[in-house]
Amino acid sequence: MPSDADHIEEFADWIEGLMRGRGYDIDSPRGGGRSKLADDAGVHRAAITRLLQRQSMPDLETMRGLARALGIPVRDVLVRSGKLTEDDLPRPDVHASGAGPAGPRMTAAQAADALGIPEHLKAAFIQVTEQFTRPDRAADLGAGDRATG
């Protein structure tokens, strides 16, 4: 497997783009973006600085914190860093099995309960949600939009 040095430039460029895209000011010396990201990620500022200066690849805990703070899957961070490959962490095929990593797909009624939808609105929530999630209804929705639109 290639060394961290082989991946750090590309990885740091990717992380910098994500940081800027999420509003962290990492370009001005007093912008506070590095400290803010370190706080949001629950890591030391020095770990962020070492990454951005291409001195060292973050450790696993720092990568987990970065993923959380930047709102990206840890899997993407690990693969982009070169620590693991796509084959090491294959993506679950949610659509083929009908189940995600946590198990079977949630029904509209279960989603309503999980989201705390009030009883008097549940029927409407379920009806609308099922229009978007049932494959046999997706074509009807598109045709209906064209007919009325």
For residues 132 and 15, the model is more confident at: 15
The conformation of residue 31, written as its DSSP 8-state character, comes to S
The answer to whether the pTM exceeds 0.85 is: no
pLDDT band for 94, please (50, 70, 90 cuts): very low
The answer to whether the CB of 133 falls within 8 A of the CB of 108 is yes
d(CA 42, CA 36): 10
Q: What CATH number belongs to 4-81?
A: 1.10.260.40
d(CA 28, CA 125): 47
Residues across the chain? 149
pLDDT tens by residue, 1-45 = 556 677 899 999 999 999 999 999 988 888 899 999 999 999 999
Q: For the chain, what are the domain ranges?
A: 4-81, 94-148
Question: Please, which residues have CB within 8 angstroms of residue 129's CB and are 6 or more apart in sequence?
Answer: 108, 111, 112
Question: Looking at residue 14, what is its pLDDT?
Answer: 95
